[in-house]
Structure 1
Amino acid sequence: MSKKRTPLKRAKDYALYVTMRRAVRGNARFVSGGAGHILLRAPEGTVPGEYSTAAFHLLYPNEDIVKADSGYMLLDDAMKEGKILNEFEVECGSKNRSIIVAASNAVIPAGIKVAVDSVLDLEPIGARELRIAARVALKMRMSEEQALQLLKYPKEHMWIALRSERSLDDILRRMASLHREEEPAGKPEPVQASGLLSEMHGYGKAKEWGLQLSRDLYDWSVGTIPWDDVDKGLVLSGPPGVGKTVFAKALAAECGVELVAGSLGQWQAAGHLGDTLKAMRATFAKAKKAAPSILFIDEIDSFGDRSRFAPDNKDYSTQVVNALLEQIDGIEGREGVVILGATNNLENIDRAILRSGRLDQLIEIGMPNAADRIAILAAHLKGDLAADDLEVLKVATNYMSGADLAKAAREARRIARQAKRPVCLEDVTASLPPTVKIEGEMRRFIAVHEAGHTLVGTLLKNGLFIGTTIVDAISAQNASSQGGAAYFDMPLIARRDRQFYCDQIAVMLAGIAAEEIVFGAFADGGAADLAAATRIATLLESRFGMGGTLRHSLATEDAELERLRQFDRYLSDRVHHTMQEGFERAKAILLDARRLLDDVANELIEVGSLMPDRLAELMDLGAAEPRIVTRSGSAANSAGGFVPRTDCHPMT
């Protein structure tokens, strides 16, 4: 008759199992089901018998207990040496593998020390083990702060109070009420949960990746999948303030694992090169000891790229990068450790760090969209105002990062505290940058500019037109606020010849071309358009061999391209000629479609947006299809693509 191991249904048993599995993980053969005899010394204040269920799960992960060749025994402080040796011989000696759990103060006979392969100490249950147990056994999400609060109470009370049908807030209230007489004088601070990634907004693909990692780490922890199936590294890029550090904390909370943080600046603060490398290794060792864990390396671009190091510090910097690669690879393995890097400058990271098997997942976090901004602001206001109440602030929060929104929420609460009342919408509005309405002549200027981009891009079939918008107001404190945008999509694969890039340049310059036609001159709002067109024209001449020479240049960065133009007069003249030709071409197209230009601009002024179907209606209402002028000045229909979802750098 077969006998199967009992399931780990209790949170206590699962927490003890986690501590036991962690203690024996150094013996890879035993963990994988191989032969071996392990003695585990229980923490002070615990009874060895508490570990019985956990030990059976470690000994018999999938097997029939009767058929399995495994043994188990307890060793307490009252047992005599003869009895200990005799029981070991009966229960474990003839078995292929066994676990002995000894009391902390038990005397271990020399015969047992010789017989076992390892004598290891079990760690007490901590916040990490409690969180994992609550998640697996009770399907309950628990923050590190909540776990630490629960661990302050007697363990026997805590395990009884932890029940899946109760909320954590209810459990904490019950425990606080029961042990109120033990609390220090004064009202204790309420326990607040750390944000879980599943509750966060504005992270897009990074959030999807994190939620999948959480599921994979759980499956790995219960033995469903091997470590090789878990993503082991990610680099998050994005502008300052988008919440890369917050993401790391929320990811660790979602996964129920410890977050270990480090950075090159922190490690270098330890002293000279040897101290820096020692501090780095210590951080990786800490993460490995805490596994499963997430190791967060902030500003990972500060390590630099070995191919760009200056001669005076090349040796030092190369050794630091090499040491990082060594730790990421993990000579002794880093099972259970996921590395998360953050950067504002992805291009400055050494390519070897990003290769397959290291930090090979790259995800960019952009500025939050309108819906995410409102959700983030509501979260920071902690229930004082609902997201629906904040919808009117979409424009006022435009171009604000998560950090900006958190600051605004703090300011709103401060205003309300001073007035001794709850937070209201006026408090939040007062904490945001002032806005300037886009109306009158300014609205017309922007509408004409965006109409130019829209028509030239569409008539040149330069990608798929997605839509055009202009805003009702912009932030008075954000100099980079955009008044409008025209969006185009292109297929992933397209033939990019000189005509393709000349079409791009014409589309980029179509905004200022429309201004010159309608107003007689263009304003400074097209500076970003000029920058984009200049870059394309320079690459045409210097990198792609599509200009006056087949010479190839390695320059791709804007600063490098600027130096090329400064020191190569011939190149500079060619760039000017190409852009002037594109500008005149855009003007010719718009002059031929003059009535349509006015119609599109008026639509944008009145409605604020233009969708593809409405543009098609306006074009059908016009006369014959306007002439399409190629770069040589002849009439033709030009095929080609466009950069993915670009806004043509609209007016500000």
Structure 2
Amino acid sequence: MKKTNTQNQKKTNPYYGLLWGFLLVLFLNGLIFPKFGRGRIIETDYGTFVGKVDSGKVKDVMIKSSHIYFTAKETDGKTITYQTGEINDPKLVDRLLSAKSPNKSGKISFNEIIPQENSPLLNFLLMWILPGIIFYLIWRQAARSIRSRMGDGGNFMSFGNGGAKIYADADIKTTFADVAGQDEAKDTLKEIVDFLHNPRKYVEIGASLPKGALLVGPPGTGKTLIARAVAGEAKVPFFAISGSEFVQMFVGMGAAKVRDLFKQANEKAPCIIFIDEIDAIGKRRDSGFSSNDEREQTLNQLLTEMDGFDGKRGVVILAATNRPETLDKALLRPGRFDRRIQMELPDLEGRKAILKVHLANVRHEEIDLDIVARATAGSSGAELANIVNEAALRAVRMGRKRVTTSDLEESVETVIAGAQKKNKVISADEKKIIAYHEIGHALVAAMQTNSAPVHKITIIPRTSGALGYTMQVDEGEQVLLSKENIFNRIVTLTGGRAAEETVMNTVTTGASNDIEQATKLARAMVTRYGMSNQYDMMALETVSNAYLGGDSSLTCSADTAAEIDREVLKLIKKAHQKAKEIITGNMTIMHEAAGFLIEKETITGDEFMQIVRKHTNAKKLQ
């Protein structure tokens, strides 16, 4: 068996083809240039040649192709070969016949070689046909080796011109047990798996399998993972390709890839085709001159292929995108992508389930999943996986063999704000300003209703640029936000600047991110949420690419836009004034908490609330 493998490696190794080609070139070079590899020949002038002939040093002479080659015996006894150009000398033969030579005969032996000319056909073969054949054989051998390596180097093989990866049913180990936090999406896809397992009960009643299902959601929510899980549960071949792989420079190449993909899928039915980032080819078509002919032809071919295959054969198309609003309407109509499956960011219970899945692969102690899940509100499945991995790395750095809850809490902060910059030098005055700034946020949050509790306060700089931060964690999952909730968040954001003004009598650049976030929330209250008395429920802004951060654009006149700015400013000023009043009325808490924070650099929400309760209870007793 080992001998067979070695022979196969020799056959597929591209260097063997290159070696044989090189040896052939050397052989041809020896035929065409026979003096290749001879000893060194010294070039000289014709006068030197005549002088050596007359002095009796020349032993033999060969005249060939307008060159004269001669050997001469020098005074030191060495015989050296010379070369010179042939000059039309009519006395040359007489001079050679009459000259003396160190040969035994005493005469110079000389001859003229008449070159043999090849036939024109032989010259054509040697100059054009043979080199072309050699380079073709080398290229073919190298291409064959590359193809064989692509086929044997992993768990997939390339096919045709489709560019997709075919995963055999035995290669896919992912199941629905590996997908957590997406229970609704799994319930919808289980019907497809059941159809692939038991198509008869559906065919008997006249039902056909949905041709396509579109997975929609933010990045990192597990769209690719759940598509692989469907194939893993169904135990069918899985074709995976990215939408960008259909986009080619030449018109018609993308359409050819689509045809090849569906041809192979029909041959391997039942199977699953997964097209990731389908918006690369499925964008809405327009009638403008800026349209992309290649992309539109590829999309048209995809629409045709989806209409052409029989849904009862068990070929299912799954596609994923972060921008469903940009897709062509023809792609989303019934009979093509029949189902739209939302892959939203996981809720509190979903985050706990995802953390359990990833912690199963990590050695850990008893973990308080509730604390970690509440601290990671808004995180995707990919981000949670990264948090678990960061916690494992931290445990190794700390010299432990198991992950603890503190490792996970620190990794949450690392992912959100970056790693700690413990060596950053901050002056005592700046450290004091930062401490009062963060306590200002925490105090305003603690003194308001409808505000998330303070979880942690720190003034240790982070690599993201934050010199400190106040971390708030909601006790439960919030689905709806009231006007009071949003306004109190704005008040909390202005608390840091209000503390600087009230306590330190200055303002710094540390509030730049607070200002940005407060302005964004206030503008959303006016333009999107209908929380302004002046505009009531009038929509003034639209949001596109909601799953990719959201790009907002105003849908109003310039005069209205100016009025919106004034309304936003009014809200922020009101919140800023409220924050100042809270801080002014609780200066004793500010001073004690800030001093404690300067000393410890990091305090928990419980430690901060003990200071708050001590002084608020004292006020009640008075």
TM-score (norm: length of structure 1): 0.47
Which is greater in Rg? 2
